[in-house]
Amino acid sequence: MKIDQIEIYHAALKLKQPFTTSLGSHNTADNVYVRIRTDEGVHGWGEGSPHARITGETIETCFAIGKLLSRQLIGKDPTALADNSALMDQVIYGNTIIKCALDTAMHDIAAKVQGVPLYKYLGGDIRKEIYTDYTVGVSSIEEMVENALKVKEAGFQIMKVKLGDGEAQDVERIKAIREAVGYDIKIRIDANQGWKVKEAIKALEELSPYNIQYCEEPINKRNYFRLKKVRNGSPIKIMADECLSDHYDAKKLIRGQHCDYFNIKLGKSSGLVKAQEIIKEAEKAGVEMQIGGFLESRLLFTANCHLAHTTDLVKYFDFDSPLFMEADPIIGGMQYQPDWEIKLPDTPGLGLEVDEGFLKNAPRVIIE
């Protein structure tokens, strides 16, 4: 089997409302969809959501580098997943978002060829229930309290609150939210690198009374070597996010005892090949993990869900991004249940397709 065509689409997905973190605000998810076709008629789907301030990518770079990588992948066996991941790294450094889209599409093909769902192809099995949280973006205290109440009223058992634009304000935000929603709902926080070291320790000490599950990436990712100081001074568990891209980062974080948990995102790891390597490192050290994402649709989050069923150490799930979008062009794939449990179809590969009507209006390039 050989790859004989790769299609790259610009999937512009309008959000229901602006999504704001300490790293910026978004009204639209400008994502890439990738369809890889083979000479035996099997095709696979992948997705990436470029984030200029985290991975250094935009929709324009994804198209440019996507064409470059696709020309190298044409003629290759799509089921040679590790080889193809290494090949993409040999062609160009970084560009993890577009590599993720291509890698995921090849995994979809590989599992389809075996006739099994992706989680089984990856060696997993469904032994647990997956419930997503829902994110409250950073804004005024009043607006965040209003949004937090909506999250609770919608029936979510867990909410993630974005912080990071000022320690004093952040403490007041969580205090007001906790007073409004009570203690029946779990709260986790994400500073998105927004605090300095001393500021982070002070904020986390003051946030401790509000029963916080953990804090994601409190300080700048380049200062990961100071994360241990934050961890040692914090009564709240610390989760590495932006400073964790691949298994090499995982090794550094484990050896330095810099964090309690890992947050894996396929867009940071270049896809499933390296995500599985992160999981191997975490399993050796007994590190619990979350799987999350950027602003991807149900396409990539279906891959996330398959990956989550490959290890018992993935215990936290941040799978809410598809709920932010006005339209859903994915047919099949993971499905949200009324209580926000997520279930997968028992069909080969990812178990999904993309609506051809949506694709017809999406800008695209075809590489053959």
Q: Which residues are catalytic?
A: 162, 190, 216, 241, 265
SS3 193: coil
Query: Which helix (H) or strand (E) covers residue 54, if one does?
Result: none
Return all residues near 348 (Cβ < 8 A) that are at least 6 apart.
Answer: 111, 112, 114, 115, 116, 117
Rounded distance, CA 108 to CA 74, Å? 17
Rounded distance, CA 239 to CA 323, Å? 23
What the block records as the tokens of 299 is: 């396409």
SS3 81: helix
- 77: DSSP letter: -
Q: Give Cα 338 to chain centroid, integer Å.
A: 22
What the block records as the tokens of 57 is: 């990518």
22: β partners: none
Rounded distance, CA 141 to CA 125, Å? 42
Contact 294, 323 (CB under 8 A): no
Half-sphere exposure of 138 (CA within 13 A, CB side): 21
Task: Indicate the length of the chain as a whole number.
Answer: 368
DSSP, residue by residue, 332-359:
ES-EE-TTSEEE--SSSBT-EEE-HHHH
Rounded distance, CA 44 to CA 280, Å? 25
